Amino acid sequence: MTKRLSIAAVVVVLVLAAGAYFLLGGAEPRGPEQPIAFPHPVHVVDNQMECTYCHYTAERAPGAGLPSTQLCVGCHVPGSGAIDPAQAQLGFPEGSEEAEKLVEYWRQGEAIPWVRVHNLPKHAHFPHDSHVTVGLECATCHGPVEEMDRVYQFSSLRMGWCMDCHRGGMELSEAEEARVQERSGYIRRIAAAADAGVDVRAEQMNFPHQRASVDCTVCHY
């Protein structure tokens, strides 16, 4: 009797586990919970804001950067430039608990403690400026952020992923490919060397569509 019961228990556990696996496997990936449920879709899609309006160092520095509390408050608290933060009142949307949290951080003079989604190990360096000015789209690496309720890591960020694009294996959109062909310093260096009569066949033999350097020291230093 106990044996039959325990078999029944095992069966129930297996069925539940299979159900959980199915449900989780079919669910959308979700990033970590943030101190304020900041909605990218509302800002990017409904209000047509550019990614670089908030991540404004992406084009000119290694880090894309996160917006300051001040930048958020500039919209959400009318007259924020002139008033004492202690007196700050949420302008819109009225009655929003999440936007109210934003005002509370401002009143306290605190930075919003956003939880990092992407985290390369310290020994690897990723410069946003090189990638954005060469003409790559944010979405190529970050996916459809404008649809994410909670931002999640879309690409593996493994070394093989970086290499695959640098060597030309990863397919880009036609527009990106055209910009990269025109702007990549690596492609220009190879072309200039070939023009000057240098033999570049060894460079190009394995990866004829290479678009960026794969020297270890470029990413590790």
Distance between CA atoms of residues 215 and 217, nearest Å: 5
Q: What whole-number distance in Å separates Cα of residue 169 and Cα of residue 38?
A: 35
90 binds ligand HEC (CB under 6 A): no
Residue 112 identity (one-letter amino acid): I
The distance from CA 82 to its chain's CA centroid, rounded to whole angstroms, is: 34
200 near ligand HEC (CB under 6 A): no
Stretch that binds ligand HEC, among 1-9, 49-57, 81-89, 197-205 (CB under 6 A): 49-57
Cα 55 to Cα 115: distance, rounded to the nearest angstrom: 15
Q: Which is nearer to ligand HEC, 4 or 116 (CB)?
A: 116
Residue 77 sits in the site that holds ligand HEC (CB under 6 A): no
> Please, which residue, 7 or 71, has the CB nearer to ligand HEC?
71
Tell me whether residue 25 or residue 95 sits nearer to ligand HEC (CB atom): 95
88 near ligand HEC, rule: CB under 6 A: no
Kindly tell me which residue out of 21, 58, 107, 167 binds ligand HEC, with binding defined by CB under 6 A: 58
- For ligand HEC, the binding residues in 178-197 under the rule CB under 6 A are 180, 184-186
C-beta of 12: minimal distance to ligand HEC in Å?
Answer: 39
Instruction: Give the dihedral sign, CA 156/126/147/111.
Output: positive
Can you tell me which of 103, 106, 141, 210 binds ligand HEC, judged by CB under 6 A? Answer: 141
Site for ligand HEC in 99-118 (CB under 6 A): 99, 102, 114, 116-118
Inter-residue contact 82 to 117 (CB < 8 Å)? no
Indicate whether 128 belongs to the interface with ligand HEC (CB under 6 A).
yes
Only one residue has tokens 């009142």, namely 89
Report the distance separating Cα 165 and Cα 213, nearest Å: 10
| From 77, 90, 103, 165, residue interacting with ligand HEC (rule: CB under 6 A) | 165
CB of 68 to ligand HEC, least distance (A): 8
AA identity, residue 54: C
Token reading at 114: 């956003």
Contacts of 109 (CB under 8 A, 6+ apart): 85
